[in-house]
Chain A
Amino acid sequence: MRKVYITGIGLVTSIGNDIPSVSQNLRDLRHGFEIYPPFQKPNVPVKVIGTIKGYTADSYDCEDWDYPSRFSIKRDILRGMAPHGLYTYCAMLDAIADAKLGGADISNDDTGLYAASGGSPRLLGHYLHRMNTMGVMRCSPLGIVASIAGTVNFNLVSNFKIKGASAGFASACASSSHAVGFAYDEIAFNRQKRMFVAGAEDGNVESILPFAGMRALSQQANPDLASRPFDTGRDGFVGTGGAAVLVLESEEEVQRRGARVYCEVAGWGQASDGYNVAISHPDGDGLRTAMGNALRRTSVDPEAVDYVNAHATSTPIGDVSEARALRAVFRNGATRPAVSSTKALTGHGLSLAGAMETAFCAIAFKEGFMPGSAHIASLDPACEGLNIIRATLPQQPHVVLNNSSGFGGANVCIVLRKA
């Protein structure tokens, strides 16, 4: 098995669109939440989201969109995209620049791309409305590729001339962790030399608000209090959108290119709850097995783990399930790993979460810190027995786990190691 490294990162997140600002906000525990104007209606009980700054992509017409002036995107590229397609396209360019890849490194048989997003419910709704009111033949010819799940891989693969493996993953909030895991496999098993991994979400009314129906969203109107994983007062997650793109490369490619490395992707594990379509297993069964699989396959002793970036979204049930799974895995450890949920700062990015948080961990390796778990005023007693860090630790971790769980009880654990 070949070793796999993260060599490039591109981010469009609620806590920043470039690595220095994201890094600073992670250290300083500065969140990216704002009162979201479209939610400010009496019949909408949810008020806050993790907003994307520097982009405006609310219009159905892609030519109305605004994005940072350092990018220049032609209309025939934009017209096939959802708002999160725009975010991913820009994050992809940043990741390519960050990894210092040339055109030949991107477009070849040995370079692939895996992506994850929930599609664009907003655009899909718009096109279906147009179809129902104006007729089938008046729908935009690119409505489908811009809106269905898979839109991110369709767009990136064609626009960046990707020639290797490509696919999209649909395991809800575990999607982009699955993408990272299977991208790791492609390289480790010598099928590809380099993989791009993209996770993204629109993070607008239509992609977030439907979660209110299942009572999964926080109704807290104060942006400073809305997302507080592991806190007794937590009342649901805060939605966010954006994009994260990672560049994964084989050891040989890293050496050949003399590439700078964030960290090693040591391996991964997954397991399913087999329990409920939407509710996580009360004891975190699947997540515990996923972490166990990940550690065993990477030959990492639980005691060697320094930091866990928890999935913890700030829902009453989910955070407790994960706490139980963590306690089960690290039960007899003489040292307990630091645990935090960066969703306290960013909000829950759904399909974006796994890739975004893997990127956060990679930045933490490179810059030598472990981000704290923000907004805990009173730790939930059900989460006791864990080393949940409320402040950022200024130490470089050696081994990090990144957990993600999705609907249907899909659980993924990525193991990252200091390069």
Chain B
Amino acid sequence: MARDLPGNLPEPAYNLAPAPKFTKICCKQPSNRLPLTKIRVYNRNGPKLHQRNMAQAVDTSSKASKPFPGSPKPCTPEDDAYLREALKRCSASTYEAAGQFRKTGNTEHLPAIVLGIIERYVEPDLRAKLKDPDDDLRLIEDLGIDSLTMMEIVILVEDVLQMSINNEELRHLRTLGDVKQFIECKVRGLPLPQPTKFLPIEQIASIMPIQPPFLFLNEASVSSQGASAKYKISGQEFFLQGHFKDNPVMPASIMLEALGQLGVLFLLEGGAGEPGKVVNPQTIFFTSCEGVRCHRMCRPGDVLSLSIKPKRLKAPLATFEGAIRVGQDKAAIAEEITLTFGYAEEVAVEPEKQSATNGESTPLAAVVNG
């Protein structure tokens, strides 16, 4: 019984400094233009891919200065033997994709290589999740990849693709979708997406104009594409005492409020505004919502998974679609939630008023506190 004890103990918590810094991918032997072979390969990929990739390929090559990682070069038998050895614990298709990539430089093979390498480092009992990979799969929480394993993945990717990934950005990759998008942007020479920022409660509270006890976000991730958050209904929320009598149920209006708060966080952290402009937290207010439907009652103990995506963003209005899930259950959706906002330099804040706001905290909180 004692023999299998370490398996019963909690997963090891590594005492690690933050993951080593990465900078951007750069090619060891930069090639300044797309080799012709690449265009030819794209031609074989059917009309749809052809059109898309041709456009991008032409676009990339026109930039001329963008190196294209893994440009094709002769793949010697030694190279092949090295690839086989390096990828010996990956699926056969990973090795084949790597061989093809090495021979042709066709970037269509990259997702298969990278996913194959990630799969190799995922514990066997979790690999089933990668059979039909969902872009929302989280590297740490769902796939058990810690920062050290991420380093191992990076080193193997570097070995196989013969590139150096020395990047700051990788630190922010939280989901499989992030990884795919990152690699796609890198190899196509497109600008990198905003890294997903993870914000724990302390950071959320320091950013938000809304404060406890009226803050309904425990942790959040924000990227340029949207934001997601979790909120656990503790049962201690003051309004549950009366909603309802002897039957605590999260009010639908508060669930909508939580989505609105996530919208506020997105505006403040997502970099969604115009370049060089900063959204002033004091200017954000709820404007309207449409198409709200509730599907499930949420009670103390439930963990709400909130997500929003921007639909339209143009000052002074920001419109989002929002959804709340509890586990796999749909809890509520809002087709549109609209907030109004303004930029910092547009608001003249008098010094004494600014200090006064620290006490009253925020517009919404001020209302709640009466």
Residues on A facing B (Cβ under 8 Å):
63, 70-72, 74-77, 79, 93-94, 96-97, 100-103, 106-107, 135, 137-138, 140-142, 158-161
Contact = CB atoms under 8 A, between A and B. Distances in A.
A57 B8 CA distance: 25
B3 A96 contact: yes
A199 B2 CA distance: 21
A103 B89 contact: no
B2 A96 contact: yes
Nearest to A105: B2
Contacts of A103: 2, 5, 8-9
B158 A138 contact: yes
Contacts, number: 66
Nearest to A158: B12
Given A93-B5, A161-B9, 12 more contacts: A72-B4, A76-B123, A93-B6, A96-B3, A101-B2, A103-B2, A135-B164, A137-B158, A138-B158, A158-B13, A159-B9, A160-B9
19 contacts: A74-B7, A76-B148, A77-B6, A93-B5, A94-B3, A96-B2, A96-B3, A97-B2, A101-B2, A102-B2, A103-B9, A135-B164, A137-B20, A137-B155, A137-B158, A137-B164, A140-B155, A141-B151, A161-B10
A288 B123 CA distance: 54
A141 to B, nearest CB: 4
Contacts of A75: 123
Nearest to A135: B164
B166 interface: yes
Nearest to A73: B6
Interface centre among B3, B5, B164 (most CB of A within 10 A): B5
Contact of B12 (A71, A77, A93, A96): A77
A138 B123 contact: no
B136 interface: no
Nearest to B148: A141
A98 B20 CA distance: 41
Nearest to A100: B2
Interface centre among A71, A74, A137, A158 (most CB of B within 10 A): A137
Contacts of B146: 76
Interface size class of B (residues with CB under 8 A): 20 to 34
A28 B2 CA distance: 31
B5 A137 contact: no
A161 B14 CA distance: 11
Contacts of A72: 4, 7
B152 A141 contact: yes
Contact of B6 (A70, A141, A142, A159): A159
Interface in B1-46: 2-10, 12-15, 20
Contact of A76 (B3, B20, B149, B166): B149
Contacts of B329: none
A251 B265 CA distance: 59
B10 A137 contact: no
A367 to B, nearest CB: 23
B159 interface: yes
A135 to B, nearest CB: 8
B166 A137 contact: yes
B159 A160 contact: no
Given A75-B123, A76-B146, A141-B148, A97 B3 contact: yes
A78 to B, nearest CB: 12
A203 to B, nearest CB: 24
Interface string B156-180: 0011000010100000000000000
B3 A93 contact: yes
Contacts of B149: 76
A193 B7 CA distance: 24
Given A74-B123, A76-B146, A138 B155 contact: yes
Contacts of B20: 137, 141
Interface centre among B2, B7, B148, B159 (most CB of A within 10 A): B2
Contacts of A97: 2-3
A142 B14 CA distance: 11
A271 B5 CA distance: 39
Interface string B335-355: 000000000000000000000
Contacts of A137: 20, 155, 158, 164, 166
A104 to B, nearest CB: 10
Interface in B68-94: 89
Contact of A96 (B5, B148, B151): B5
Nearest to B85: A61
A106 to B, nearest CB: 7
Contacts of B155: 137-138, 140-141
A245 to B, nearest CB: 13
Contacts of B7: 72, 74
Nearest to A106: B5
Interface centre among A101, A159, A161 (most CB of B within 10 A): A161
A79 B164 CA distance: 23
A107 B225 CA distance: 44
Contacts of A79: 148, 152
B8 to A, nearest CB: 6
A101 B7 CA distance: 15
A88 to B, nearest CB: 13
